[in-house]
Structure 1
Amino acid sequence: MTAQRQEANQMGAKPHFRPGIMWIALVLLAGFGAPGVGWLAGSGPVALATTTERVVTNRYSGLAIEGYDPLAYFVDARPEVGLPDFEAVEWSAVWRFTNEGNRASFVAHPEVYAPQYGGYDPVDLARGITVAGSPMFWTVAGQRLYLFAREETRDAFAANPAPYAKEATLRWPSLEDQLAQ
């Protein structure tokens, strides 16, 4: 601190107005009201449309569900990271598997083993927004795999899946069309 500022502080001078700080604060606050940005209870700001893909994929690797084996949720009842030796391409995404049997089953019936709604959170879809699901928050209900963005949405869905699945299924076609644009 310079001698002048030390002296001013000791004499009770008011701090200087700093317009640069004000502009940064205004830009940050304005950003939270921008289209495509919203607030979810207790989670802070989130992007409402997290991707423009019909299937949630890693934008850098092209891997669906972050490289986790979709059949492991059914067979092992837990997420398992797939291996590069066992890959398949479906719906413009690369899917990985832990073994050849899982890969072959998926290739034969991807509509059965792939996450429903392209891996988007069905609770958020039921609310009319697309939020990518995480391979860590999942459930198998009605012999189908569902991924969720948050533990809370997974728990709500698991407690009573029928109304969420019904509403998500009704909204999914129009939301899916929007994702493709």
Structure 2
Amino acid sequence: MTAQRRDWRGFRRGFALILLGAGFCTPAWAGTNERVVTDRYTGLAIGGFDPVAYFTDADAQAGLPDYELSEDGAVWRFRNEGNRAEFAKHPEVYGPQFGGYDPLDMARGVAIAGNPRFWLVVGQRLYLFGREDTRDAFAAAPARFLPEARKQWPIVQQTMAR
């Protein structure tokens, strides 16, 4: 690789880190269907992670292309056929709350896509967070944030592109 290409690649990588640190990267890759954060290029919901694995394995695990399900315009991936079947029966249980948007930001009336690596299961529901600090704040007092997030969710949904 030439020195010029190395410099350019380093610039792009540094630029992406600056954007990520500033919180701008998430909306750039995230599109939305009616409710769920999806990757605008692949259509994958929650970054291709298996939503059922958060409950069954208590871990964020990438789904496999062999076990996909299309639901409401989003493509969901799963680790196995059992997880796919369970999600198909109960998407309202296993799908992330607020469409995968960060509940703390939602409580402020802002749609910031959650990162599938920052997650919590609270009250048998999955929540994704844009940052580790918002996950930690939510974990300390979910009842403090959920009422306002639930109130804001329908309002924010109406402002989203379809």
TM-score bracket, normalised by the shorter chain, equals: 0.7 to 0.9
Gaps of 5+ in 1: 1-42
| 2:22 corresponds to | 44
| 2:94 corresponds to | 113
Aligned length: 139
Contact 2:45 2:75 in 1 (8 A): yes
1:177 deviation in Å?
Answer: 1.1
Q: TM-score, normalised by structure 1?
A: 0.72
1:42-65 CA distance string (max 9 Å, x none):
x53638966551311111110001
The letter for the 1-side match of 2:43 is: G
Contact 1:121 1:146 in 2 (8 A): yes
Query: Counting helix residues as a fraction of each chain, which structure ranks higher?
Result: 2
Residue of structure 2 aligned with 1:88, choices 30, 46, 69 = 69
- Helix, strand or coil at the partner of 1:57: strand
| 2:60 corresponds to | 79
Gaps of 5+ in 2: 1-20
Distance 2:158 2:26 in 1: 15
Residue of structure 2 aligned with 1:167, choices 125, 148, 151 = 148
Distance 1:103 1:48 in 2: 26
1:7-54 CA distance string (max 9 Å, x none):
xxxxxxxxxxxxxxxxxxxxxxxxxxxxxxxxxxxx536389665513
Percent pairwise identity: 58
Distance 2:88 2:42 in 1: 20
Q: CA RMSD in A?
A: 1.7
1:95-128 CA distance string (max 9 Å, x none):
0000011000000010100000000000000011
